[in-house]
Structure 1
Amino acid sequence: MAAKTALTIAVLFCICANSMDAAKPLPSILKPCPKNDPNLDECAAASGNFAIPKLKNGVPSYGIPPMDSYFVEKIDLEGKDIGVRFVLSDVNLHGLSNTKATLIRIKHEPLNFNWNIYLPVMQMIGNYESSGKILSLPITGKGDFNLTIFGIDVQYEFTCDTVKKSDD
């Protein structure tokens, strides 16, 4: 989730930069791709891969938080099929600045993005609470957790609407 957020920020800045009137210039780490570029998909992936490691410390002037570590206040997970709920809190994610865009496809009408990203390793550190039952066994717990995940492949698709603002 956090890896997708970081890549979303980086690539959207890069793609949209040439088609919007920005109040301030883009940070130098973001390389815009012209939307009529015949190699837009490759440009977007290269721009995203260039920007992501440089977003490790964030860009405070644009409200972009640090990627390493990336803080998430709360993640609520409920496995309805198995009847268990996990609430993760005060989670710090490490390793997001190593995310790589392996494939980006962009369509203009409607504006649609398909991304494949790869994260070699991500570590999550925080607090957890669990409750529920598996079969007839109660599952409850509370405490600290440290989770390391290797080889994360993510496929992400979303569609955007463009909004024309007034000239004010």
Structure 2
Amino acid sequence: MPELLYLLCLLASAAGLGLRKSEYITACSRNDPNLNECALKSARESLHQFSMGDPSRGLEPLDPLYVPIMTVYLPNENGLKLTFKENSFCGLSALRLNDLKFDLNKKLITADALVNLDVQGTYDLSGKLLVIPIKSSGDSTIKLKNTNLHIRFWYEHVKCDDDEIHWKIVKHDIKYEVEKATFRLENLLNDKVIGDQVNRFLNEMWREIVADVGPTISQSLSAAVVDNLTKLLDQVSYDKLMPE
């Protein structure tokens, strides 16, 4: 899930990155006994701005974030096929970091975060609801309330062309829990009774839908953020990212 955004912001804010000082927070020393508190404070203060991207460093905006397609079958492939298309996820810039820890010996970063997401897109729906054949398309709205993110990043130190040591992300792991998801499909067969019935059915099965589309969302968001993070770490050495 969108959960990776916080780390990108953290790495930018915690070290200053040599960017315009008026826009970013001062560095946190890796020898600071309160490193985690310093980094968390820095990330919180610069998260919103950094999520808007930085063209000077080739970093793309992350709010809204585009996910082209997500498909779910309800209750299985013999029932309804629902495809969400052209999905714009809004809300990442308001992500809240609740906890952040660095283990410099294990080269591990962990964090907990909370975010609410509004998703605007379109849908294609086909199949049967009970014995009623359904085929429809239109605008869709998804709201993901209180999504808790649990994230781990493993990194290595590598020497780059500038003869300085840089961080390289080699692995990441994301787990999430959504408190509540709501769905709204518009223009369902131009029939309010059927439309209300289908929307009610979807919202009764919100956990199953989230379980099915969650991996697609996570993969899309991870790819976007890791791409930005890779560009950033290629440009900024470890000593600048987290000085002594």
**TM-score bracket for this pair, using the shorter chain length:** 0.7 to 0.9
Match of 2:38 in 1: 43
Paired residues in the alignment total 159
Note if contact 2:9-2:51 (Cα within 8 Å) is conserved in structure 1. Answer: no
The answer to whether structure 1 residue 72 and structure 2 residue 71 are counterparts is no
Q: Which has the higher helix share?
A: 2
Tell me the residue number matched to 1:99.
95
RMSD: 3.3
Q: Gaps (5+ residues) in structure 1?
A: none
Give the aligned partner of residue 110 of structure 2.
114
Q: CA deviation at 1:56?
A: 5.0
Query: What SS is found at the alignment partner of 2:112?
Result: strand
| Corresponding position of 2:234 | none
Verify: 1:12 aligned to 2:11, yes or no: yes
Distance 1:94 1:108, change over 3 A: same
Residue 88 of structure 2 corresponds to residue 58 of structure 1:
no
- Per the TM alignment, residue 75 of structure 1 is displaced from its structure 2 partner at its CA by 4.6
Q: How high is the TM-score relative to the length of structure 1?
A: 0.73
What's 2:224 paired with? none
Bigger relative contact order (CA 8 A; separation at least 6): 2
**1:30 partnered with 2:29:** no
Which string of whole-angstrom CA distances, capped at 9 and with x for unpartnered residues, describes residues 10-29 of structure 1? 112234x38xxx6xx22433
Asked if the contact 1:75/1:88 (under 8 Å) is kept, the reply is yes
**Structure 1's 64 and 167: CA in aligned 2 closer, same or farther, altered over 3 A?**
closer
CA distance 1:150–1:27, shift in 2 (3 Å): farther
Change in 2 beyond 3 A, CA 1:116/1:77:
farther
